[in-house]
A and B are shown apart, each in its own frame.
Chain A
Amino acid sequence: KNQVEQSPQSLIILEGKNCTLQCNYTVSPFSNLRWYKQDTGRGPVSLTIMTFSENTKSNGRYTATLDADTKQSSLHITASQLSDSASYICVVRGDTDKLIFGTGTRLQVFP
């Protein structure tokens, strides 16, 4: 069982709409949680990084939340743009250098 599960697996929205992506993890011990955006065949691009004590962090139209008690995180995208079409990956770091990647959510934004 993957230690980082994301939902939905895929999502289609219209340009200008908001959406929220979910991430549940079981990684323990927990160091931090990151959200990355990855275009097909390209390197992941960091959106946010949150540690145990942080509940919310924003980066432009991206807002991430973290509930370390329930081991859940969400990524909210506001006023979506066509360029937001990509895979969004929740990545959790434990007590080693290894990043544990989630299953990803494939987002498609249509005009």
Chain B
Amino acid sequence: AAGVIQSPRHLIKEKRETATLKCYPIPRHDTVYWYQQGPGQDPQFLISFYEKMQSDKGSIPDRFSAQQFSDYHSELNMSSLELGDSALYFCASSWDRGLGNTIYFGEGSWLTVV
């Protein structure tokens, strides 16, 4: 069965550069979530989208922006990268905002800022 696809899997950027992560949800899923997991930390909720509109917002820095496109894929744009942005970024998807439904996570995108 198709899973949540994230790209790239690994990314190395320098400070102050910009990075874009992509997420392709499971077909027919209308909700996408972004999480950031630092080394040894719990995943932290960044932002979510339902039917291409921002649904909820967590601890997403102002330097980051995201959107969900007409084909339901989502992109997380990160600018002015800082060393502390180095983390594993998870995308997850579900049907109908995951209310009572399984939320499926991708394998994550490793971002290293040097």
Contact = CB atoms under 8 A, between A and B. Distances in A.
Decide whether A and B assemble into one complex.
Answer: yes
A62 interface: no
A99 B107 contact: no
A1 interface: no
Contact of A43 (B55, B99, B106): B106
Interface of A: 31-32, 34, 36, 41-46, 49, 51, 89, 93, 96-99, 101-104
Given A97-B98, A99-B103, A42 B108 contact: yes
A98 B59 CA distance: 10
Interface residues of B, number: 28
A46 B102 contact: yes
A97 B45 contact: yes
Interface string B95-114: 00111111111111010000
B81 interface: no
Contacts of A46: 102-105
A93 B98 contact: yes
A49 B100 contact: yes
A21 to B, nearest CB: 16
B72 interface: no
Contacts of B58: 98
Contacts of B88: 41
A34 B33 CA distance: 16
Residue among A41, A44, A46, A51 with the highest chain B CB neighbour number at 10 A: A44
Given A31-B99, A43-B4, A97-B50, 16 more contacts: A43-B90, A43-B107, A43-B108, A44-B105, A45-B105, A49-B100, A93-B98, A97-B31, A97-B45, A97-B97, A98-B58, A99-B33, A99-B35, A99-B43, A101-B42, A101-B43
A104 B37 CA distance: 13
